[in-house]
Amino acid sequence: IDQRIPSHGEDLERMRKNRILIDADLNQPDKQLLQIFTQTNIGPIFFEIIQRKGNEGFGEGNFQALFEAIERDQQKRGVL
C-alpha cells in the first residue's frame, strides 16, 4: 500500500486488523476510497461499506482482494 498509495496517511495496522481495504486512482493518490465488506451470513449476501475521501471510483483496485476473500469464505464453509 505504501508503494501504490504513498500519501495515504492511514494506520495500516488498524486497517489490517479491521479488514479495511484502501484504493486510489494512480493519477490522484491523495483521493482515496476505504472499503470494508461484511461476512456472508445469509447465503452469498454481503454488504459493502465505503468511505470516500475525494475518490469517486468503485474500488477497482480492491476487486481482486474481494474475490479472494469470497473464495476463502466459500472454501471455509465447504461451498467451493
How many domains in the chain? Answer: 1
The pTM assigned to this predicted structure is 0.64
Instruction: Answer whether residue 22 is part of any domain.
Output: yes
Structural domain boundaries enclosing 41: 12-77
d(CA 59, CA 71): 18
pLDDT-flagged residues of the chain (< 70)? 54, 56-65, 80
d(CA 65, CA 71): 10
Query: Any idea what the Cα angle at residue 17 is, between residues 73 and 74, rounded to 5°?
Result: 0
Tell me the CB-side half-sphere exposure of residue 20, using CA atoms within 13 A. 16
Instruction: Answer whether residue 46 is part of any domain.
Output: yes
